[in-house]
Structure 1
Amino acid sequence: MSEFSVHVPVFPQLPALALRCAPVAPMSMALGGFVARLAQRHAGLFRRLGAYGRSRFVIDPTDLPVSLALEPRGGCPRVQVSRGPLHGDARIAGPLAALLGMVHGAYDGDALFFSRDLVIEGDTAAVLALRNAIDDAELDLCAEAQSMAGPFADAVKRVVALAETRTGVALSRREENEEW
């Protein structure tokens, strides 16, 4: 093993199979609404992209039967989910756990890239701008989902904690001093 080796869990097969049958339009709408809410709560996230705020990013979780395109559009983001190939200015591909782990600070993007768990194609400067913007925002997707869940926030937190324990996937941000 090289010094850059990273153990990245693979998304469980049963839920991945379920995504093959799930309709794409509702997934696009749900993710689009979630990202729009992120844009409202973290306006600096998309401003920090600068010239790359109009880029189209293809995010390809290699262990899922879907991929998505994210268009930040200067803070009015659009998300498209697809089972077929998507085209954009840049493509980021890797296991879902790696992609989410980078968002939550559980994995270092450089280590994932050098271990070949993460593949970047196209405009690498745009990908670097996106990575830096996400790092700066210190996003916690679980906390964002809880804020949208209203009276069900505690239930969302418990479900996410259980999913993290069972899968090893970082679904929330950990404090710097907490051990993973």
Structure 2
Amino acid sequence: MRFPATLAAPLNVIPMAAIERTTSMLFQRVTTQHPHLFARLGEHIEKRFAFMPTDIPLVFVVSPAQPSIHVARRLPVPPTADASVEGPLFMLLALLEGRCDADALFFSRDLTVNGDMEAMLAMRNALDDCDIDLPRDLSALAGPLAPIVGRVAESIRRRALTEEASRWN
């Protein structure tokens, strides 16, 4: 499932400060919920990892050593990173949660990986060990609306994964 273009278009005009602040808040929540997220990176902890969705005009660069995330608008010149992965947003989120086979996606060319492959493999292994569940981990940020937000996010994830799975088979 691709991120709908009508929802992606406003990302071109929303101020980057607002996008970066929101993304940093979500990133901080995930790293708080999973404090050992980057523990398995070992010698790759100082590397920078770019996650480049193909269906939204943004790029996310994670620096695990801090830990921090930087967001930029997608430009013809990719951001400075030691390793990068490119693919549809929902696929990248499924990888974050360990819900799909990264190797199969790479070999089927649904994902493009560039740069330090050993570092990206270490990142994949780190993510696989963390049991990240974005609807569960992030819905708490919605306060009293957390149950509703969690159910909506779970429904979106289920639909996105079902559509991707049927396309892969």
Listed as ranges, the matches of 1:4-15 within 5 Å are 9-15=1-7
SS across alignment from 2:146: helix
Q: Is the 8 A contact 1:100 1:169 kept in 2?
A: no
Q: Is the 8 A contact 2:34 2:130 kept in 1?
A: yes
Listed as ranges, the matches of 1:71-110 within 5 Å are 71-73=63-65, 76-83=66-73, 84=75, 85-110=78-103
Q: Is the 8 A contact 2:2 2:55 kept in 1?
A: yes
Superposition CA RMSD, Å? 1.5
Instruction: Verify: 1:145 aligned to 2:133, yes or no.
Output: no
Alignment match, 1:158:
151
Structure 1 unaligned segments of length 5 or more: list them: 1-8, 171-180
Moved more, 136-145 or 76-85: 76-85
Instruction: Verify: 1:169 aligned to 2:156, yes or no.
Output: no
After superposition, the Cα gap between the structure-2 partners of 1:46 and 1:106, relative to the gap in structure 1 and judged at 3 Å, is closer
Aligned equivalent of 2:47, options 40, 52, 55: 55
For 1:136 and 1:162, the matched residues in 2 are separated by 24
Q: Is the 8 A contact 2:29 2:138 kept in 1?
A: no
For 2:70 and 2:122, the matched residues in 1 are separated by 20
Which digits, 9 at most, give the CA deviation of each residue in 1:104-162, with x for residues without a partner? 33321011001101011001111111110110001001111122222121121132144
Structure 2 unaligned segments of length 5 or more: list them: 162-169
User: Alpha-carbon deviation of 1:90?
Assistant: 0.6
Q: Is the 8 A contact 1:52 1:129 kept in 2?
A: yes
Identical aligned residues as a percent: 39
Residues paired across the two proteins, number:
158
TM-score (norm 1): 0.81
Aligned equivalent of 1:44, options 31, 36, 59: 36
TM-score (norm 2): 0.86
Letter in 2 for 1:10: R
For 2:96 and 2:33, the matched residues in 1 are separated by 16
Aligned equivalent of 2:115, options 115, 122, 129: 122
For 1:169 and 1:18, the matched residues in 2 are separated by 21
